Amino acid sequence: MAEQLDAVVSAPVPVAPGTAIGFPRGGASVRARAVAVADLLGREAFLVVLFAIYVVGLTWNLPSHIASDTWMTFAYGSEVVHHGLPHHDVLTVWAHGRTWIDQQWLGQLVFYGAYALAGIRGAIAVQTVCLTAAMALAIVAARRHGGSTRSVTWITLGSFLVVAWGSWTLRVQSLVFPLFVALLWLLAEDSRRPSRRVLLALPIVVLWANLHGTAFLASALVALRGLSMLLERDRPLRDRLPVAAVLTAAPALLLASPYGFSLVGYYHKLLLNPAFSKYVTEWAPTKLGIATAPFYLLALLAAWLAGRYRSRLTLFEQSAL
């Protein structure tokens, strides 16, 4: 009996090939993923370093991000929290009592909430995350769509200059930068490989419509994708028409706000008011100068690349440019 027990104890335990005793089965996959990530970082070393430089530059002098628009955002957000959505101006002297459509109420609420919870550092942290996420998404999207490491590196470097010059100020528009990149990536991807995922563009427009007035740009891009889908010939019209019709109607989503149809007049004045170009810097005609030179260089480069590699771009991508 003792000899039989010794034989059982000393007998080798059968183990399936490739299984390591004492380690979870997922250990090999974790190591494989780690190796894949390391390999990816090695291939994209230039872009990783460039992105790190961008983050350092963004966070180097955070107090410089604060401007008059920052405090206005906090004041408007406080108004929404304590008194609800405003319909008449009570915060300025010249326009006191005038009708006020606070289209970007949600963006103001986000920044004021961060300020109330963690002070000015909290608000700056939210802005920093948005700007960082937007740049990271743009780099990844460019590489995923076939851009070489060298070309993406140079274009990214030029983009840093454009973004850093006037877009690092803490204000509501910072919240929509990652939305813009994500939306454009989604639409461009759908123009190459159509799928139902393109309908995710609709909730993005709804969210944007309550964050910042540039939502009209988002709705225009979505509608443009719908129109380009109608002109495509790679699929039967009956397969394209339902989704294309929904996307083309995206501008109607600009009214998906507590202000509803009151926003019709808001966007009419926003887009067609001639006084804006006289008194608002961002709406003034663009002039060639030191501040705008990087933009013009990037625009010329984009036009040249689009012309040279036109066959690689889809109809939507050409139209969006």
Q: What is the pLDDT of residues 280-306, one digit of tens each?
A: 777 778 788 777 788 888 888 888 888
Helix axes 201-208, 237-248, angle to 10 degrees: 10
Question: d(Cα 286, Cα 162) in Å, to the nearest integer?
Answer: 13
What is the arithmetic mean of pLDDT over 30-47? 76
Domain membership flag for residue 22:
no
Indicate whether 216 pLDDT > 80.
yes
Indicate whether 13 pLDDT > 50.
no
Phi, psi of 23 (to 5 degrees): -125, 145
pLDDT (tens digit, 9 = 90+) per residue, 113-147? 999 999 999 999 999 999 999 999 999 999 888 88
Lowest mean pLDDT among 32-36, 228-232, 309-313: 32-36
What is the arithmetic mean of pLDDT over 229-243? 88
Question: d(Cα 179, Cα 201) in Å, to the nearest integer?
Answer: 10
Domain membership flag for residue 6:
no
pTM: 0.84
Domain membership flag for residue 298:
yes
* SS3 of residue 200 by DSSP: helix
pLDDT band at 28 (very low <50, low <70, confident <90, very high): low
DSSP class of 99: B
Domain membership flag for residue 81:
yes
Domain membership flag for residue 166:
yes
Domain membership flag for residue 14:
no
Residues 204 and 254: beta-carbon distance below 8 Å? no
Domain membership flag for residue 3:
no
pLDDT (tens digit, 9 = 90+) per residue, 63-115? 888 998 999 999 999 999 999 999 988 888 888 888 889 999 999 999 999 99
Q: Which amino acid is at 289?
A: G
pLDDT band at 24 (very low <50, low <70, confident <90, very high): very low
Q: Which of 30-34, 41-45, 112-116, 163-167 has the highest mean pLDDT?
A: 112-116
Q: What is the mean pLDDT of the chain?
A: 85
Per the structure, the complete domain to which residue 185 belongs is given by 35-320
The beta-carbon contacts of 145-152 under 8 Å, at least 24 apart in sequence, are 145/188, 145/189, 145/192, 146/312, 149/43, 149/44, 149/46, 149/47, 150/46, 152/47
Q: For residue 181, what pLDDT is reported?
A: 96
Dihedral of alpha carbons 91, 123, 217, 51, sign: positive
- Whole-Å CA distances, 7 to 10, 52, 321: 5, 62, 77
Q: For residue 161, what pLDDT is reported?
A: 78
Number of domains in the chain: 1
Looking at the DSSP bridge assignments, the partners of residue 99 are 88
Lowest mean pLDDT among 129-138, 150-159, 171-180, 213-222: 150-159
**Structure-block tokens of residue 160:** 């840093």
Helix (H) or strand (E) holding 149: helix 149-166
Domain membership flag for residue 306:
yes
Indicate whether 44 pLDDT > 60.
yes
Residues 273 and 229: beta-carbon distance below 8 Å? no
Q: For residue 27, what pLDDT is reported?
A: 60
What is the arithmetic mean of pLDDT over 235-242? 87
